[in-house]
A and B are shown apart, each in its own frame.
Chain A
């Protein structure tokens, strides 16, 4: 059924992505591709992987943005660019437009945990769900002719043959900077919900009315340079050297 679940799902599994921490290393992107090309559904194909015009289906991509502050508090910060690395994958929206447009019933949102999935046996590859998604979360697999999307690593998170620590999405497991977090956003006491509450987690494009489950933690405010300057010792200042180093400092001064 491509109608959305009539009641709010009891669990809202999703990701919280910390834009303050992401270093843009693309490890999550690569591990996502690696896991999902051998996991749920058909492989994530590439077209001309060794040619000039390389292309393929990816479920997670990192964009990098430059944010120019409109007026800073100290000289040199106003107009100074700030770089933000921006991982983007399916947001598992509560009001997912990709689900309702599907003509075949292939696209669906699970009533139990809110994960949005594609049943590849039913998908005709019309591409309308990719058009309906404002986030670009869905990409057609050109080899299989079916729509691919983030499954929240459904074949990991419920996989009891895995160690507990590995029952999280591949992107979260691999992130070396700990910028990605997985959990139940319907539970106000979950680690992810607390993080969202404390850091003021945001929805992407709230005006599209999709009510995304995944949240993004905005970059923390920057400390003005003048505040940091007082904390830095001048390289030449050796007045508080003691013992052997004071003697060495004195001897070297005399040379």
Chain B
């Protein structure tokens, strides 16, 4: 599948934003601190930027509001509806944190739950597509949810260091969540690598009863929408390397930095370590999302000899 940058950026940014918003909603940071208010602004900014970016790949973005109508059948529509609903408790909580310096448990918890549901809907857009076998597993939403939570906890550790809370417990939670996310993700990728293709050129053409089917000629000599959209292969060539890079940047580096914070506690060095952990995690997730698309094979490619 073609990894559209707008979609990769959207899932990464909104994942981090919803993760942080969920942590804030659970009240893990001290509402009396200004940094909690800034954390709210960052969460809303990441979510907003992600949602805006997701409209960039649309052919007719001016009609994007129509995407809110088909929540009965479409996960993409559900995602849109949930994203807007989630804004309500998040804005209320952010207001309370910024201007009242208080934590409101009810909007907080509702916001955290809605954040999780929105991320789940995003993942289900992919997991519900039978035509892309690599995505069709319960592990897909598990990975999306755990990565969002892990990113949120890492960001929350940074804000805890800025004076808003219990640094060590936050850093410990982030380590646990990053580890859990990567355990799920590695199982997801093992499944991908071990997978027997559901559809083959034989089943796609129905000619398997005669023999082995191979493409002789494409419909047109040049690329088309389908081969560009479903047949992207650049990253697949370097898949193993990129997978290691994603694991290193998104898993090992932030965990080591978080362990250092756990040991060092409060302090300037810890703040630098937290910033590096967030940046490294973000880059790792960008690579992970790139691979999520680039490594997934679409059934239509059985007609194109790929």
Contact = CB atoms under 8 A, between A and B. Distances in A.
Interface of A: 1-3, 19, 29, 53-58, 61-70, 82-84, 86, 88, 97, 99-106, 122-128, 130-136, 139-142, 144-147, 202-209, 216, 218-219
A3 B215 CA distance: 35
A54 B219 contact: no
Contacts of B223: 53, 55
Nearest to B224: A55
Most chain-B Cβ atoms within 10 A of its Cβ — which of A53, A69, A126, A128? A126
B219 A205 contact: no
29 contacts: A1-B73, A55-B224, A55-B225, A57-B225, A58-B220, A61-B219, A63-B219, A63-B304, A97-B129, A97-B130, A101-B73, A101-B74, A101-B128, A103-B68, A103-B70, A103-B76, A124-B58, A126-B67, A132-B131, A134-B299, A135-B300, A135-B303, A136-B230, A139-B226, A140-B225, A203-B206, A205-B302, A216-B206, A218-B207
Interface stretch (B88-96, B112-120, B197-205, B232-240): B197-205
Nearest to A206: B203
B207 A63 contact: no
Nearest to A88: B303
A126 B224 contact: no
A131 B58 contact: no
B185 interface: no
B63 A63 contact: no
A19 B65 CA distance: 44
A208 B199 contact: yes
A64 B217 CA distance: 5
Given A123-B59, A131-B229, A218 B66 contact: no
A121 to B, nearest CB: 8
A2 B73 contact: yes
A125 B67 CA distance: 11
Contacts of A204: 203-206
Contacts of A84: 205, 207
Given A68-B212, A204-B206, 17 more contacts: A54-B222, A55-B222, A63-B218, A66-B216, A97-B129, A97-B130, A102-B74, A106-B66, A124-B63, A124-B64, A127-B229, A131-B229, A131-B298, A136-B230, A204-B203, A204-B204, A205-B203
Contact of A130 (B69, B201, B218, B226): B226
Given A97-B130, A124-B58, A140-B59, A131 B70 contact: no
B131 A208 contact: yes
B66 A124 contact: yes
B195 interface: no
Interface residues of B, number: 59
B159 to A, nearest CB: 34
B166 interface: no
Given A2-B70, A2-B73, A127 B219 contact: no
A26 B209 CA distance: 25
B60 A125 contact: yes
B105 interface: no
Interface in B131-145: 131-132
B128 A66 contact: no
Contacts of A134: 130-131, 199, 298-300
Most chain-B Cβ atoms within 10 A of its Cβ — which of A68, A131, A206, A216? A131
Contacts of A126: 57-59, 67, 76
Nearest to A53: B222
B210 A219 contact: yes
B73 A3 contact: yes
B75 interface: yes
A106 B80 CA distance: 16
A134 B207 CA distance: 17
B1 to A, nearest CB: 7
